[in-house]
Amino acid sequence: MRVRTQLRNNRSKRGSVTYRDAKKVGILFTMNSLDDYESIRQFENRLKKDGKEVNVLSYLPKNVENFHFHYDIFSITDFSATGQVKAGNITNFLEQKFDYLICLDKEPNLYIEYILAASAARCRIGNYVENKESLFELMIRLNGNNSVNNLIQQIYHYTNKF
């Protein structure tokens, strides 16, 4: 219910911006494996090398190891029973005016969806998921290879076409 409310009430200016003109990029993902983490680190470094300011926020599910990475993390405990944000790092992330907000989940969970819906990002990018079109301005359909690394490569390719 909160995701739908955020989508309905969020009046942020949406649209595409050229990769060259994009200055601020947000990355949002669920920590599932160390391999995914390494691919995301490489992607973050590539964006920084291209002169982008990059902020990363990761959802850490129950019973998943933290891997001691340097990203801001959040979990289910950072939301109240009614779905309100209780954590400062989520609030700070939501306040950022990203040119691109990139979701690297194959299928976003409810908490990631909430952040996508509430974000003031200009262009939200992620994997194509049926019935989640309202969460994104650009969706990438992966054919066959559904790895995070392939999603990253496709997102980088298509954003550079703008």
The Cα–Cα gap between 3 and 80 comes to: 14
- Only one residue has tokens 């309100």, namely 84
Answer for the pair 133, 21: CB distance below 8 angstroms, yes or no. Answer: no
Q: What is the pLDDT of residues 49-88, one digit of tens each?
A: 999 999 999 999 987 777 666 788 999 999 988 888 999 9
Q: What is the pLDDT of residues 87-121, one digit of tens each?
A: 999 999 999 999 999 999 999 999 999 999 999 89
Query: At residue 131, what is the residue type?
Result: N
The whole domain housing 148 covers 2-159
CATH code assigned at 55:
3.40.50
Q: What is the count of structural domains for the chain?
A: 1
- Percentage helix, strand, coil, to 5, in the chain? 35, 20, 45
